[in-house]
Amino acid sequence: MKAFLRPLLLAGLALSLAAQPKAQRFALPNGLRVVLLEDHERPLVRALLHLALEPGDTPPGHQGLGPLTLRMMDRSDAGDLKPADFDRLWEAAGIQVTRTLQAGGLTWRLAARSRDQDRALGLLADRLLRTVLDPQLLELQRLACWQEEERRRTSPRVALRDALDPDPGLRPTQAGLGAVGLDDLLRFKARVFQPSRAVLILHGDLGLEQAKRLVFLSLGSWTAPAAPPPEPAPSIVASSVLVPQASPLVRIPPRGLPPRAQALAAPPEGLSHEAAALLSLLLPGDPAWFPAEARVENGCLVATLDATPGSRPGDMWTRLQQRLEAVNRRGFTQADLDQARAAWLARRSVESLDPDAEMASALAEALGRGASPKRMRALTLEDLNAGLRRWLDPARRHGGLLSDPEPASAP
Partner 1 sequence: MRLLVPFLVATLGLHAQAPRLSEVQERRLANGARLLLVERRGLAAFHATLVFRGGGAEEPTALAGATDLLASALFGGTWPEDLDAQKAQGLDAALHQEEGLLEAVRLERLRQRRDAAAPSQLPALEANLEAVQARLKAQLTASPLADLYAARGGKQRAEATADALFADTELPLDAFEFWCRTESQRLKTLQLSRFSLARAALLADLGQRGPQGLTLLRGAALPGHPYGRDLANNLPALEALRVSDLRAYARRALSPDRLTIIVVGGLSLEGALPILERHLGSLPVHPAGEEAVLPEIPADLGDRRVQAALGALPELLVGWRIPARSHPDHLALRMAIQLLTGGPAARLPVRLIQQKGVAREATLTLDVPGGRLPGLLVADLSPAEGHGLAELERSLHGEILRLQQEPIAPEEWQRAAAQLETRLLAVLDEPARLAKALGRAWAEGGDWRIAERDIQRLRTLGPEAVQAAARAWLKPSHRTTAWLEPALEDGLDPLDAETTKVLKALAATRIEDPAQREHLVSEGLRQLRMLSVEERARTLKLLQAQLTPEKR
Question: Applying CB under 8 A, which residues contact partner 1?
Answer: 1, 5, 8-10, 12-13, 15-17, 19-21, 39, 41-44, 84, 87-88, 90-96, 111-113, 115, 147, 151, 154, 204, 256-258, 281-283, 285-288, 290, 306, 332, 335-336, 339-340, 342-355
The Cα diameter of the chain in Å comes to 77
Q: Which amino acid is at 231?
A: E
Listed residue (118, 117, 119, 121) closest to 108, CA to CA = 121
Cβ(47)–Cβ(124) below 8 Å: yes
Q: How far is the CB of 294 from partner 1 (least distance, A)?
A: 10
User: Sign of the C-alpha dihedral, residues 121, 183, 234, 395?
Assistant: negative
H/E element, 250: strand 250-252
User: Sign of the C-alpha dihedral, residues 310, 312, 315, 321?
Assistant: positive
Nearer to partner 1, 175 or 345 (CB): 345
Q: How far is the CB of 404 from partner 1 (least distance, A)?
A: 14
Nearer to partner 1, 19 or 182 (CB): 19
Q: How far is the CB of 353 from partner 1 (least distance, A)?
A: 5
> At what angle are helices 138-152 and 65-75 packed, to 10 degrees?
120
Nearer to partner 1, 266 or 279 (CB): 279
Q: How far is the CB of 385 from partner 1 (least distance, A)?
A: 13
Nearer to partner 1, 110 or 198 (CB): 110
- Cα separation, 380 vs 375, whole angstroms: 10
Nearer to partner 1, 226 or 335 (CB): 335
Cβ(279)–Cβ(387) below 8 Å: yes
Q: DSSP of 366-393, one letter per residue?
A: HTT----HHHHHH--HHHHHHHHHHHT-
Q: DSSP of 187-217, one letter per residue?
A: HHHHHH--GGGEEEEEEES--HHHHHHHHHH
End-to-end CA, the chain = 61
Q: How far is the CB of 323 from partner 1 (least distance, A)?
A: 13
Q: How far is the CB of 81 from partner 1 (least distance, A)?
A: 13
Q: How far is the CB of 242 from partner 1 (least distance, A)?
A: 25
Nearer to partner 1, 88 or 130 (CB): 88
Listed residue (191, 216, 187, 193) closest to 51, CA to CA = 193
Q: Give the 3-state secondary structure of residue 11.
A: helix
Nearer to partner 1, 13 or 224 (CB): 13
Nearer to partner 1, 231 or 338 (CB): 338
Q: How far is the CB of 61 from partner 1 (least distance, A)?
A: 27
